[in-house]
Chain A
Amino acid sequence: MKRRTLLQTGAGAAMAAAMGLPVRGDGHTPLKIGFIYVGPIGDGGWTFQHDQGRLDVEAAFGDQVETVFQESVPEGADAERAITQMALGGADMIFTTSFGYMEATNTVAGNFPNIKFEHATGFMREHDNVSTYDARFYEGRAVLGHIAGRMTKTNKIGYIASFPIPEVIQGINSAFKHACAVNPAVEMVVIWAYTWFDPAKEADAAKAMIEQGVDVIMQHTDSTAPQAAAAEANAAGGDVITFGQASDMAAFGPKPRVASIIDNWGPYYVERVQALIDGTWAQQGHWGGMPEGEVVIGEITDVVPADVKAEAEAMIADITSGAYHPFTGPIKKQDGSVFLAEGEVATDLQLVTMDFYLEGMLGDIPS
């Protein structure tokens, strides 16, 4: 048995070398690329999009790579076990695709210096083999906030938030700022769900908002349940609009879903795997947005008036070209102190540490 394994491995390496395929230091091919997901790939949102990125990697590299993934890995202590298991399983590179895997990813990276780790939406890079990557969701939120501010009739915009982390707070602030810019009477109703994925709870949150007069619902949780809840409310005579989150969620268009913010991870994943193959992989903190095609606004449906749609498209063009940054001063914090002076643009450091609401927001961010 042992001899046969040896022969196969030897033959495989020889063949790979002959065919010009990449051969790793320990001589194996294909490269094994692992993905750790926080929800099921069928969530129709966040994890679904990461899995699309995984499929892009498979499509781009074919037999050169083998991908493995594990779904519904809880954030926290159990993540370390799951990542370690994947590392022991022979992965060459592991993408950990949720903020809560930050400590676990770095701990495991310390134990496996020869494996490359890529952690999504975090900022901790304690070892040379850990990179982080993120998308500038706030760019997309600005566009959605603009549409929301123009579309709301009750002047109440609901925001189903997950956890009070900078990524989520940026999104709330960006949406609120751009809704306020076109409709100063807007009020943001935030519910913290304390989960990324719990369809029943997300649906309950959406229903609670609708019952309290919210007519535009944004979400930073991963399932399509709020869309379904809004559709149900509309079927019962309501007038609620939503935005697809992370994925297009086109099935809920043209109403309630009137547009969407799509995370497009494929290009980044392909680029990083290519770097690994070329041997040029190096640690970095990557933060792409609309210019890189990582944040995409899905089709704006006809429920949105043409002039609003044109304004939204103009904003998309400006952000993509770099002419406009959603966090450009003057902006004040909720407590009235100055965040950005006239014409000042927020630095990335200011954004990744954002832990306050902007002026005009009601309520407190839980600590």
Chain B
Amino acid sequence: MDLSNISPILLLASLMVAATPILLAAIGELVVERAGVLNLGVEGMMMTGAITGFMIGHATGSAALGFVGAAIGGAALACLFGILTQYFLSNQVATGLALTLFGVGLASLLGEEYIGIRAPAVASIDIPLLSQIPVVGPILFQHDAMVYVGLLIVLAVWWFLKYSRGGLVLRAVGENHDAAHALGYKVTRIRMMAIMFGGACAGLGGAYLGMVRVPQWTEGVTAGAGWIALAIVVFASWRPGRLVTGAYLFGGIGVLQLNLQAARAPIPVEVLSMSPYIATIVALVLLSARKSGRSTAAPAALGQPFHASR
């Protein structure tokens, strides 16, 4: 064993990178679910976002435009889900699963010509002054922009849900859509906006995997990240703060265990391999166990179809 080979600075820095795709996808799904909609198509939206982002990034040579394209692609696929579930009142679980199959298939079809092609370079932004701080600088302040965009989105969502009027309305729709409707709020329209926001975030997460984590087009690059994001939303009991904890724990321990394996830490490999899952679940369960009652409950109208004539 030689743990001195592991550089804590590099490790913590790659932790932030590893957590970002799941964080982005999960924060989008959190908003969707707080609005009372269960969209199981995260994996499909991530893949679609990954390929549309890659195509646009490759065509324009600009990673930033690529991420914009990814958000649009993810939102477009989510829009399809929204139309089916909100206007045609299809079953959300079945439609979400179908969306995953469709999105993954669509991505491999669109991506056929791009296999093995490299992504446009995503520049790291070295934040002036802050990035010069020893130790903390390289860990926190020398990443690509999307790491910070992800965190800013989480912060914005947290503020929106907790302090803004719009957030209150969105939560009302998710808790009791009949009451919200009786008060005159456009339940379907609000849900459509939430669904598209969720799709855009998932698309960004997918593009991050396809352009930064694995800087070349590979089919199936998400490899289940969408499902992890869905699980983290539930274990974080629909709260942005816990969601960040969950995503960083999962991403961080995932990277840590690979480093420990390479350094031959005296821990069985089986334990190391399952550690990201176990640690994330235990931590989030402990976090939610502190408070009782409503604070850990799912949005009351989650997954229920809404029809105004009822």
Contact = CB atoms under 8 A, between A and B. Distances in A.
A212 B270 contact: no
Interface stretch (B6-14, B87-95, B147-155, B278-286): B6-14
Contacts of A213: 5
B262 A191 contact: yes
A72 interface: yes
Contact of B263 (A41, A207, A212): A212
Interface string B103-140: 00000100110011010000000000000000000000
B18 interface: yes
B307 interface: no
Contact of B270 (A204, A214, A251, A366): A366
Interface stretch (A61-69, A144-152, A169-177, A221-229): A221-229
Interface string A87-124: 00000000000000000000000000000000000000
Interface stretch (A15-23, A76-84, A195-203, A277-285): A195-203
Nearest to B4: A212
B303 interface: no
Nearest to A367: B270
Contacts of B225: 200
Contacts, number: 110
A208 B258 contact: yes
Interface string B247-281: 00000001100110111100011100100000000
A43 B219 contact: yes
Nearest to A44: B116
Given A42-B111, A190-B261, A199-B221, A208 B255 contact: yes
Contacts of A42: 108, 111-112, 115, 218-220
Contacts of A71: 108
B255 to A, nearest CB: 6
Interface of A: 39-44, 71-72, 158, 189-192, 194-195, 197-201, 203-205, 207-209, 211-214, 223-225, 228, 232, 251, 362-364, 366-367
17 contacts: A43-B218, A43-B219, A44-B218, A189-B262, A194-B273, A198-B223, A199-B214, A199-B223, A201-B258, A203-B213, A204-B258, A208-B255, A211-B14, A212-B6, A212-B263, A225-B216, A228-B118
